[in-house]
Amino acid sequence: MIRREYLKLNYKPDYKNEIITTFYLESNLSLKEAAVKVAEESSIGTWTRLTTLSSRIFKSLAARIFYLNKKKKLVKIAYPLALFEKGSIPQLLSSIGGNIFSMKDIKNLRLLDVEFPKKYITSFPGPRWGIEGVRKILGIYDRPLIGCIIKPKLGLTSVQNAWLAYGVFKNGVDLIKDDENLTDLSFNKFSQRVKKVLSLKRKVENQTGQKKIYVFNVTGPADIMLRRAKLVKKMGARCVMVDIIACGWSGVQYLRNQNLGLIIHGHRAGHAAFTRNKKHGISM
């Protein structure tokens, strides 16, 4: 039966041409049976037999279960790279992080790890700066970078926000960021916050002789997010923040692909909805 052919414990994965996943899996079925259901649903199969699934398609595109550990309830599955659209995290998650979590035969399922071949990784531009770039901008190479978050997270006016940042910067902090839900609010408008914070940031840089970074939260619909990021760049700032779960991976990709030359800081607000349960969800 084709469905059993997903199980290939003697199979040696091709790390150059396959995406490898590691799952924790609990089911009332045997680990083998449950793993087959995960493999088929996340690749080319579904809950029933298909007359349209030819042996040619199966041979070239079926996922392969190559490792089972009954004691630890671990499953490793190899997926042909042809199943995935390069440069698209949303499409990837629709497969290895999609319907498999809602199958009735699966009690608990957690995506623990993903190993990507180089040709998939290089389909993304990656960070424009990275930690080395941030250090270069700040001119700090021999110590940890010290960061701070504005508190209260909501309630300050743009003027109060700016002066608080000024005081924190003056006392030695290198980087200050907006909190996750401070965007463009009636009592603290985004454009005014950018203008006033940057004015005082330049003042404290002149006073201390130290470079500083303020991270402005541009989270929002893609068009608004881009407009805010362009304003940040125009005003002379170097860094923006995106709530990556709220905006989605495509939102982050969209902003990165604009090549604005900004540092993009990711805030993971909301991640615990799928990471807190150690038996179910996705590791992050």
Q: What is the pTM of this model?
A: 0.90
Q: Is 181 helix (H, G, I), strand (E, B) or coil?
A: coil
33-72 pLDDT, tens per residue? 999 999 999 998 766 677 777 788 888 889 999 999 999 9
Task: With CA atoms as reference, report the closest residue to 231 among 264, 190, 187.
Answer: 190
Domains of the chain (ranges plus CATH)? Answer: 2-122 (3.30.70.150), 130-274 (3.20.20.110)
pLDDT at 58: 81
H or E segment and range at residue 237 = none
81-110 pLDDT, tens per residue? 999 999 999 999 999 999 999 999 999 999
Q: Can you read off the two tokens belonging to residue 219?
A: 């989270």
- In the annotation, is 177 catalytic? no
The catalytically annotated residue of 151, 153, 234, 278 is: 151
pLDDT at 164: 98
pLDDT at 56: 84
Query: Which residue has tokens 């279960």?
Result: 65
pLDDT at 47: 63
Average pLDDT value over all residues in the chain: 94
State the pairing for strand pair 281-282/263-267. unpaired
- In the annotation, is 265 catalytic? no
Query: Would you mind telling me the total number of residues written for the chain in this entry?
Result: 284
Give all strands of the β-sheet with 263-267 in edge-to-edge order.
147-149, 175-177, 213-217, 239-243, 263-267
Q: Which residues of the chain have pLDDT under 70?
A: 1-4, 46-48
Phi, psi of 223, deg, nearest 5: -65, -40
